[in-house]
Amino acid sequence: MSLKDQISDDMKAAMRAKETERLGTIRLLLAAIKQREVDDRITLDDAGITAVVDKMIKQRKDSISQFQAAGRDDLVAKEQSDLTVLSGYMPEQLSDDAIAAEVQAAVAATGATGPQDMGKVMGVLKPKLAGKADMTAVSALVKAALLPSNVRRAPDQ
């Protein structure tokens, strides 16, 4: 079953169970998916839908921090509820050790020698880790791995 079918089935189940908050969040998600499909004139696959869900999760996290700073606990609770529903559609997240191993493998595969090669390394990692890891954290790990003191230079020939 595709992710889009699963989301549609969950919407129907939320309607039957009269779970209004969950239903509202799922409808927003389906609307965002449909909007992306119409804008780009494509049919999203599971990876594309995961990207939409990831974007919505980032928006919710940003909203939560803004609402907490403003002291709006009622809106924080709503956003956290949305975040819980949306997180259910993301693939299982990789452990920190697995992410670090992927970063080291990508640095070795690209032959990166310093911070100027960060784009190459991220280009290799993004397709592999999208949806499975927080790309901001991955970026920080790559940056740390590419510091001049951490990069192993190849011996001169």
What tens digit of pLDDT does each residue of 115-125 get? 899 999 999 99
Question: CA–CA separation, 103 vs 51, rounded Å?
Answer: 21
d(CA 77, CA 79): 6
If one counts the domains in the chain, the total is 2
Which domain range does residue 51 map to?
Answer: 3-87
Report yes or no on 24 lying in a domain. yes
Q: Do residues 14 and 78 share a domain?
A: yes
pTM, two decimals, is 0.76
Whole-number Å distance between alpha carbons of 33 and 27: 10
51 φ/ψ angles, rounded to the nearest 5 degrees = -65, -40
B/e letters for 107-131, b = 16+ CB within 10 Å, e = fewer, are: beebebeeeebbebbbebbeeebeb
Q: What is the pLDDT along the chain (157 residues), one digit of tens a residue?
A: 899 999 999 999 999 999 999 999 999 999 999 999 999 999 999 989 998 999 999 999 999 999 999 999 999 999 999 999 999 999 888 888 999 999 999 999 998 888 899 999 999 998 888 888 888 889 999 999 888 766 555 554 4
